[in-house]
Amino acid sequence: MISALMTAACGSRPTDSTPPLCLAEPADATCTNALYGFHNGVLSPTFDDVFTNTLSPTCGTEKCHVAGVAPNGLELDMEDLAYTDLMAENAAGTEKRVIPGDTKCGEMIVRIETHDRPWSMPLGQPPGLPLDDGTLCAIRHWIANGAQRQ
């Protein structure tokens, strides 16, 4: 699938323990997702859709991105805070987590589109077990269409 995009572009980092800044190619935002009622960008999911159907149940759980245990300060259990955190630079202040309109660069897209590295998201058994195609499609569309709050 997209794991071949692991090859870094846009200024890669030298080790396997940290993600590259960008994918080799943009993630495919021409996908279709009936759950969100869109096809090829005709209707794009809102952040509310992405939060409610993806981030909250998958990432904002007690063992992952919640207050007190959130890696790199990324809390994904409350919608307003989740949006603010995703649009900010990462905890190291070195890169944006989400770059509106860019499905190639940004910490979130790199981590969810790469499935075989220790830093791949979401963590699972095995590490980096990918999100399902519909979920990836919704996130890609949301980012590609400007990562708007509403």
Is 111 in contact with 117 (CB distance < 8 Å)? no
Q: Please give the Cα distance from 113 to 122 (Å, whole number).
A: 10
Judge whether residue 130 has pLDDT over 50: yes
Max mean pLDDT range (19-33, 84-98, 117-131): 19-33
pLDDT given at position 10:
29
Q: When comparing pLDDT for 83 and 88, which is higher?
A: 83
- Span 44-68, average pLDDT: 77
What predicted TM-score, i.e. pTM, was given to this entire model? Answer: 0.76
Judge whether residue 85 has pLDDT over 80: yes
- Span 66-90, average pLDDT: 79
Bridge partners of 96, per DSSP, are 89
pLDDT given at position 105:
94
The two three-digit tokens of residue 86, written as one number: 């995703």
- In the chain, % of residues over pLDDT 70: 71
Judge whether residue 38 has pLDDT over 80: no
